[in-house]
Amino acid sequence: MLVLTRKLNESIMIGEDIEVMVLDVREGFVKLGIKAPREIQVHRQEVFAEIRAENLRAQQPAPESLASAAEALSKAKPRPKRRFNTGEQP
């Protein structure tokens, strides 16, 4: 981990596109300003962790959903095959 010391209104650059500036320091809290391209997502660590956890949960199929889908498919009547009119005479 790189550790830097910055004073109020001083900044650091991450690559060429991201600037992190110290905006305020009070009572043990530091307020940072972050300039980054719109396509770069910027989140507090705890928000990022929650987003990641939710994405992982969304990737896992719920067993009850799979069971109900399998049951619905097994009860479904097969649909008749469609015949498409090609304009040709039989």
Tens of pLDDT along 56-79?
A: 988 887 667 777 777 888 887 777
The secondary structure of residue 77, as a DSSP letter, is: P
Q: What is the pTM of this model?
A: 0.60
Distance of CA 84 to the CA centre of its chain: 43
Q: Which tokens belong to 21?
A: 């500036």
Of residues 8 and 87, which shows the higher confidence score? 8
Of 89 and 40, which is predicted with more confidence?
Answer: 40
Token output for 24? 């305020």
pLDDT digits (tens, 9 = 90+) for 19-58: 999 999 999 999 999 999 999 999 999 999 999 999 998 8
DSSP 57: H
